[in-house]
């Protein structure tokens, strides 16, 4: 039975990602023995940190690093979101935008989301925009990522804890605003994750 601690022991930090150092399947996802069967480790990490995964939903990587189990990089999405996400990341170079049957966002909506997105904002955050446009947060993330997700700022790194969990910083290029709550969330997560 995997625990948060046992998962952490088998990871290595890579930027702000926490990469699984155990077995990696051909799919690129890590595998771990958990609750009597072999499971994808990013899904186990999601469950341990955030609770059960609703039936049929995918656990998506906002960092696009399949080995990563940092709970701050994992969001729930549908299969359609996952497809839209792959398209956004150009993993599937043949399928692009609305020409793909699983793409959910029209170019107009995508542009609107990109224009308005402010991380964690009450009316323009991913949650609010996903409600307003009737798509999942995963789809919103997929839409905005290319434009708004930026590499972590080079915060001062003090010890392994901060190295492992240097918070990724979401910045709206239009406003230059980051998210003040993100640091707090990360502190909570770090405290939980690094308990010895």
Tokens of 120: 């964690």
Under the criterion CB under 5 A, does residue 17 sit at the interface with Zn ion? yes
Please say whether the beta carbons of 75 and 63 come within 8 A. Answer: no
Residue placing its CB nearer to Zn ion in the complex, 7 or 68: 68
Minimal distance, residue 86 CB to Zn ion, in Å = 16
Under the criterion CB under 5 A, does residue 11 sit at the interface with Zn ion? no
Residue with tokens 């023995």, as numbered in its chain: 33
Minimal distance, residue 150 CB to Zn ion, in Å = 14
Under the criterion CB under 5 A, does residue 60 sit at the interface with Zn ion? no
E strand spans, the chain: 11-14, 17-20, 31-34, 37-40, 58-61, 74-77
Q: Select from 65, 126, 137, 179 the one that contacts Zn ion (CB under 5 A).
A: 65
Q: Dihedral of the CA atoms 175, 180, 183, 188 (nearest 10)? A: -140
Span near Zn ion by CB under 5 A; candidates 16-24, 76-84, 144-152, 173-181: 16-24
Minimal distance, residue 167 CB to Zn ion, in Å = 11
Tokens of 107: 């170019």
Q: Select from 59, 63, 113, 129 the one that contacts Zn ion (CB under 5 A).
A: 63
Residue placing its CB nearer to Zn ion in the complex, 12 or 175: 12
Binding mask 122-161 for Zn ion (x = CB under 5 A): ----------------------------------------
Between CA 52 and CA 117 the distance in angstroms is 28
Q: Residue 76, SS3? A: strand
Q: Select from 2, 4, 57, 68 the one that contacts Zn ion (CB under 5 A).
A: 68
How many Å separate Cα 67 from the centre of its chain? Answer: 12
CA-based nearest residue to 72, from 190, 153, 191, 154: 190
Tokens of 3: 């625990």
Span near Zn ion by CB under 5 A; candidates 41-49, 68-76, 102-110, 121-129: 68-76
Q: Select from 73, 104, 145, 186 the one that contacts Zn ion (CB under 5 A).
A: 73
Give the residues lining the site for Zn ion (CB under 5 A). Answer: 17, 63, 65, 68, 70, 73
């Amino acid at each position: 039975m995997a625990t948060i601690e046992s998962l952490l022991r088998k990871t290595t930090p890579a930027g702000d990602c926490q990469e699984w150092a155990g077995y990696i399947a051909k799919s690129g996802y890590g595998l771990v023995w958990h609750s009597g069967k072999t499971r994808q480790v990013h899904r186990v990490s999601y469950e341990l940190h955030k609770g059960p995964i609703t039936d049929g939903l995918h656990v998506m990587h906002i960092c696009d690093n399949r080995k990563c189990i940092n709970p701050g990089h994992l969001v729930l999405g549908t299969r359609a979101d996952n497809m839209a996400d792959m398209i956004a990341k150009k993993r599937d170079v043949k399928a692009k935008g609305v020409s793909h049957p699983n793409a959910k966002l029209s170019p107009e909506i995508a542009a609107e989301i990109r224009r308005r997105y402010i991380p964690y904002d009450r009316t323009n955050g991913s949650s609010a925009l996903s409600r307003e446009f009737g798509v999942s947060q995963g789809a919103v993330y997929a839409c905005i990522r290319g434009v708004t997700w930026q590499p972590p700022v080079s915060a001062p790194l003090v010890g392994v804890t901060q190295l492992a969990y240097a918070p990724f910083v979401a910045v709206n290029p239009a406003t230059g605003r980051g998210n003040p709550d993100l640091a707090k969330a990360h502190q909570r997560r770090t405290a939980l994750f690094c308990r010895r």
